[in-house]
Chain A
Amino acid sequence: MASPRRDGPVWKPRAENQLLAHDLPRVDGPLKVSGRARYSHDVRLPGMLYGRLVCCPVPCAEVAVDLAGALKLPGVEAAVVVHEGTTRTVGQVVAAVAARTVEEAEDGARAVRLSIEELPWAVDREQALAPQAPAVTRRGNRRERGEDGDAEAVARALAESHAVVEATYSLPVQHHVCLETHGCVCDYRGGDEATIYASTQATFGIARDAARVLDIPARNVRTIVHHMGGGFGSKFSLDIHGRVACMLSKECSRPVHLLVDRSTEFHTGGNRSGSRQHLRGGVSAEGELTALEAEAEMFGGVGGGAVARMPYIYSVGRVHARRASVHTHTDSSRAMRAPGHPQASFAMESLVDELATAGGFDQVEFRKRNLADPVYHRQLDRVALEIGWPGHPHRSAPGDAEGIEAVGIGFGVSVWGGGGSADACECEVRIERDGGVTSSMGSQDLGTGVRTYLAAIVAEELGLELSAVEARLGDNRLPKANASGGSVTTGSAAPAIKDAAHEARVAFAEHLAEVLGVDTGSVTFDGGVVRAGKETLSWSAACETLPDEGLRARGVWREHLQASGVHGAQAARVRVDLETGRVRVEKMVCVQDQGLPLNRLALRSQINGGMIQALSYALLEERLIDPDLGLLLSDNLEDYKIAGSLEIPELVAIIDDDDERAAPIGMAEAVVIPGAAAIANAIHNACGVRLRHLPLTPTKVLEGLAARARGEEVR
């Protein structure tokens, strides 16, 4: 019989698992809901000071900083200049203060005197593209980012098309709105060591930068991220907030707590870029997408912004696409859950919907006809059935907007990679003589459930209950892990955890075989007991045979233990109040594949979260900057509206069990992509009002209804 070690680890078929592919309540759930989980924001250390940032209220200015007034105030222990000279974003950080209390730090920050010489600014597209616009970047305010395809071929194909739709779609800047704001606690008390308690997606990514600011060796910087309150792509680096925490801590050799207030978060925490996309698409009489001309502008502030490539997911005969960044004096865009994809999805799915309507096609059949991958066909059929499409009265033409209310259904599809990064993660499993098992990897759990599968994969392998394995993560002294972004964590981490679990099991089996004088192949672990030959041992009895130091096994990334490429389909059903323009999303359905579903409960939760975030983006979220005053007016959660509990519809999250791939794949980004488009399409389906600009407010619905009543179309 071949030894298990040489066979290497393989994922069991789903049905054979006791824990994996089941609903596993997350292991840190009780801590989080009871308030006992200590987030980075909750860290309190002896002698700790609180930091506050000073932001320049003008988008573009020459700024000089005078700290004297702040340093005179009671409680203020340190103040630093962060930036002098030209500022170029609304709310740019220019100075910071540390004091004994938050209130004293706020007073200190207000007492920092700024000499501001205002410079001309551009905070929106119109200002940025005006003839006399001030240059936001050295390379101008509009930068071409690439061109694909053949414009002439597209023009010919459009001319021959049965129907052509030309429209402009736009999406506002969206904020991440992490519950825990950006920043960290820097514990530096002089000397050459420091600990950073960070709210970050990159436990291993920030030590070097912190060390540089503190002027100490990078190896002496420990980073701890036991619990963190959301990142969504906005927390990959030490960032300005963390750098300033280190500057202040260095200045006074005391721990500094600097997690920013909500206004500073909105000004400096990054965002999903806005976009404006002008599309021209054609369809044949048979319902095939013939051609697409696409021009996208990306509004990433001083950053480049993102819009995924066209055509997005759908197959189109001829395509010509161009993208450009339009720069403004606003905070740079960052990665945000599927960067560029919801933007491309909203434009593409809206256009597809418009072309289906123009040709008089059933929305679901039309989509299937133009999606090459058959996975989408089964997924669309599934969501269509679940949302009630087969009995819906408006399948190839919208409702007539008569009466007081109208109900509509809309669709969208998603795509993502979700594979892991080679050799990015390692895992250590320890089995102690007292029966304790730990599974350790330095990775961070953003709320995605890493901590739970870090324990569950090991418990599954050793035939133990989930609670018998302790997961340790969020610490750069633990085995290495990559940053969590792009849904790579599962594909990077799960193989290493599986490998470590496998190594531990095999090593334990070999040990027991030797101690008990049986074949290694006869040792099995199941239901909390160990069987070896004819003997049955309790787990603790088996562990007592270990030497004092217990057993340690190390796992590394194995390519065959992960896969990549996920698909999803979503549907939304809305009820539109034709008198007030109120859009009530009644139900959303998502079918999502992800290979082996490690934890079905966490996956459904992730799917629900994606739909909710998309609903919020679709209906409510909008950054408001006054172009004349240059002020960010939506720097609070009253005016930057995110969905509340009363907006949440019936959510149906379906794990696609027709996907038979044996290995897990990351999918968190995919599920946020198509929801906004599905809702916009549902509004059109309900009442014939095509809304091409997010958010889909009652204002726009009412304007659309009025225009429709006049026989016009709103552009």
Chain B
Amino acid sequence: MKAFDYVEPSTLAEAVAALAKGGGRERIVALAGGQDLLSEMQDHLVEPGTVVSLNRIDGLAHVRSDAGGLSVGARASLAEVARDEGVRTGWTALAEAAASVGSPQIRSQATVGGNLCQRPRCIYYRNEHALCLKKGGQECFAEGGLNHANAILGGGPSFIVHPSDLAPALVALDATVRITGPEGGRVEVLEGLFTLPSEGEVTRETSLEPGELITSVEVPAPAAGVRSTYLKFQERASFDFALSSVALALGVVEGRINHARICLGGVAPVPWRCERTEQLLVGEAPGEELFARAALDALEEAEPLEHNGYKVPLTQGLLRKALRSLT
């Protein structure tokens, strides 16, 4: 492995300053739980000049909820989020998403911020010898290759899927993120953080600038009667990424749906919000006919590749199950 400098700042300001030196030839990267970064370094996908550890900075690891909402520090572990009683009752989709990640060992080490910023799992991206678009090459090998796990929505020119489980759950829960960077702090709607390969730089998945860090995730309290769930479908039941997932927040009042948020995971290069389908649901009485219509609508724009057409009925099935489970 290429030798690198390792720094452990004790304040956020120092960390931001250290990270902001990047942008030149030497990559400077942030280390929290390390679950993605270290494997990327071992596989020689990134060879940073400097690694900036965030693990000595106080105050980034809280999980705090009250009547006003939920605040989760970027360095909170997925295990803490998954077992927090407040999260489990108020923001169930988030707890379920956190519990679905990897293995117990990974969840105890991996962080919320790291999960949102993790890099794709595409088998071509992860192979050092395949110099694909995501690694600065000229071609997305998945587009015409072994693409059964790749995007059916929002793909092109890269066809990765966003691997995060937390992201779709948090988008469905209307989360925002606090970001700190060289220019100071900002707050961003989480959904807006992720960029399609056709929109932003194809070698990145978020709009975070060099030196910028997510410091916390803020989630509003759910409106009365709104419940949420995260359904993840993985080829292997343990230790696997989503082939498709559905995050759903749904409110039903007097037999009518009054609130709906749907966000799909594992099917697009970003967490895929289904606003039109949400509108289709609001005002209607729940039932199988409606669920079937919603499922068709949510996948209407899907453009499968050669080997991933199954993701359309699969995701439709997951959405119907999610709707059924919350009504």
Q: Which residues of A contact B (CB under 8 A)?
A: 57, 103, 106-107, 110, 577, 579-582, 620, 624, 626, 628-629, 631, 633-636, 638-639, 641, 643-647, 697-699, 702-703, 705-706
What mask results when residues 232 to 244 of chain B are scored 1 for a CB within 8 Å of chain A, else 0?
0101111110010
Q: Assess the A699–B238 pair: CB atoms within 8 A.
A: no
Measured between C-beta atoms, what is the minimum distance from A184 to chain B in Å? 24
Q: Assess the A631–B127 pair: CB atoms within 8 A.
A: yes
Measured between C-beta atoms, what is the minimum distance from B280 to chain A in Å? 20
In this complex, the member of A57, A579, A646 whose beta carbon has the largest number of chain B beta carbons within 10 angstroms is A579
Q: A624-B146, A647-B237 are in contact. Are A631 and B129 (CB under 8 A)?
A: yes
Which residues from chain B contact A638 at a C-beta distance below 8 Å?
Answer: 121, 126, 239-240
Q: Assess the A633–B1 pair: CB atoms within 8 A.
A: no
Q: Assess the A633–B124 pair: CB atoms within 8 A.
A: yes
**Residue B13 is within 8 A (CB to CB) of chain A in the complex:** no
**Residue B313 is within 8 A (CB to CB) of chain A in the complex:** yes
Name the CB-closest residue of A to B148. A699
Q: Assess the A633–B123 pair: CB atoms within 8 A.
A: yes
What mask results when residues 127 to 151 of chain B are scored 1 for a CB within 8 Å of chain A, else 0?
1011000000000010011101000
Which residues from chain A contact B239 at a C-beta distance below 8 Å?
Answer: 638, 644
**Residue B318 is within 8 A (CB to CB) of chain A in the complex:** yes
Name the CB-closest residue of A to B129. A57
**Residue B320 is within 8 A (CB to CB) of chain A in the complex:** yes
14 contacts between A and B (CB under 8 A): A580-B318, A581-B314, A624-B146, A626-B130, A626-B145, A629-B141, A633-B123, A633-B127, A638-B121, A641-B235, A644-B236, A698-B233, A699-B148, A703-B309
Which residues from chain A contact B316 at a C-beta distance below 8 Å?
Answer: 579
Which residues from chain A contact B44 at a C-beta distance below 8 Å?
Answer: 110
Additional pairs, 16, CB under 8 Å, beyond known A579-B313, A579-B320, A631-B127: A57-B129, A106-B1, A579-B316, A579-B321, A580-B314, A582-B233, A626-B146, A629-B129, A631-B129, A633-B124, A638-B240, A643-B236, A646-B238, A697-B235, A698-B243, A699-B307
* Total A-B contacts with CB atoms under 8 angstroms apart: 85
Q: How many residues does chain B have at the interface if contact means C-beta atoms less than 8 Å apart?
A: 32
Which residues from chain A contact B307 at a C-beta distance below 8 Å?
Answer: 699
Q: Tell me the interface secondary structure of chain A in the complex.
A: loop
Q: Which 5 A-B pairs have the closest CB atoms?
A: A579-B317, A646-B237, A644-B238, A699-B310, A633-B123
What mask results when residues 302 to 316 of chain B are scored 1 for a CB within 8 Å of chain A, else 0?
000001011001101
Name the CB-closest residue of B to A703. B310
Name the CB-closest residue of B to A635. B127
CA distance A110 to B44 in the complex (A): 11
Measured between C-beta atoms, what is the minimum distance from B307 to chain A in Å? 8
Which residues from chain B contact A582 at a C-beta distance below 8 Å?
Answer: 233
In this complex, the member of A107, A633, A647 whose beta carbon has the largest number of chain B beta carbons within 10 angstroms is A633
Measured between C-beta atoms, what is the minimum distance from B217 to chain A in Å? 26
Which residues from chain B contact A646 at a C-beta distance below 8 Å?
Answer: 236-238
Measured between C-beta atoms, what is the minimum distance from A118 to chain B in Å? 12
Q: Assess the A103–B1 pair: CB atoms within 8 A.
A: yes
Name the CB-closest residue of A to B244. A580
Measured between C-beta atoms, what is the minimum distance from A624 to chain B in Å? 6
Which residues from chain A contact B318 at a C-beta distance below 8 Å?
Answer: 579-580
Q: CB < 8 Å: which of B1, B124, B146, B238 contacts A645?
A: B238
Which residues from chain A contact B121 at a C-beta distance below 8 Å?
Answer: 638
Which residues from chain B contact A643 at a C-beta distance below 8 Å?
Answer: 236
Q: Assess the B235–A639 pair: CB atoms within 8 A.
A: no
Q: Assess the A644–B237 pair: CB atoms within 8 A.
A: yes
Q: A579-B320, A697-B235 are in contact. Are A702 and B130 (CB under 8 A)?
A: no
Q: Assess the B237–A626 pair: CB atoms within 8 A.
A: no
Q: A581-B314, A702-B314 are in contact. Are A629 and B123 (CB under 8 A)?
A: no
What mask results when residues 289 to 327 of chain B are scored 1 for a CB within 8 Å of chain A, else 0?
000000000000000000101100110111011000000
Name the CB-closest residue of B to A582. B233
Q: CB < 8 Å: which of A107, A633, A636, A706 contacts B313?
A: A706
Which residues from chain A contact B141 at a C-beta distance below 8 Å?
Answer: 626, 628-629
Which residues from chain B contact A579 at a C-beta distance below 8 Å?
Answer: 313, 316-318, 320-321
Name the CB-closest residue of B to A697. B235
Which residues from chain B contact A634 at a C-beta distance below 8 Å?
Answer: 123
Which residues from chain B contact A703 at a C-beta distance below 8 Å?
Answer: 309-310
Name the CB-closest residue of B to A646. B237
CA distance A705 to B310 in the complex (A): 11
CA distance A458 to B148 in the complex (A): 55
CA distance A626 to B139 in the complex (A): 14
Measured between C-beta atoms, what is the minimum distance from B321 to chain A in Å? 6
Give residues of chain B (127-180) contacting chain A, Cβ–Cβ below 8 Å.
Answer: 127, 129-130, 141, 144-146, 148
Q: Assess the B235–A620 pair: CB atoms within 8 A.
A: yes
Q: A57-B129, A107-B1, A633-B123 are in contact. Are A702 and B313 (CB under 8 A)?
A: yes
Which residues from chain A contact B236 at a C-beta distance below 8 Å?
Answer: 620, 641, 643-644, 646-647
CA distance A631 to B127 in the complex (A): 9
Q: CB < 8 Å: which of A580, A629, A697 contacts B317?
A: A580
Which residues from chain A contact B310 at a C-beta distance below 8 Å?
Answer: 581, 698-699, 702-703
CA distance A698 to B243 in the complex (A): 10
Measured between C-beta atoms, what is the minimum distance from B284 to chain A in Å? 21
Q: Assess the A698–B146 pair: CB atoms within 8 A.
A: no
Which residues from chain B contact A706 at a C-beta distance below 8 Å?
Answer: 313
CA distance A103 to B44 in the complex (A): 13
Name the CB-closest residue of A to B145. A626
CA distance A582 to B233 in the complex (A): 9
Which residues from chain B contact A107 at a C-beta distance below 8 Å?
Answer: 1
CA distance A261 to B312 in the complex (A): 37
CA distance A542 to B17 in the complex (A): 81
Q: Assess the B235–A698 pair: CB atoms within 8 A.
A: yes
Which residues from chain B contact A581 at a C-beta distance below 8 Å?
Answer: 310, 313-314
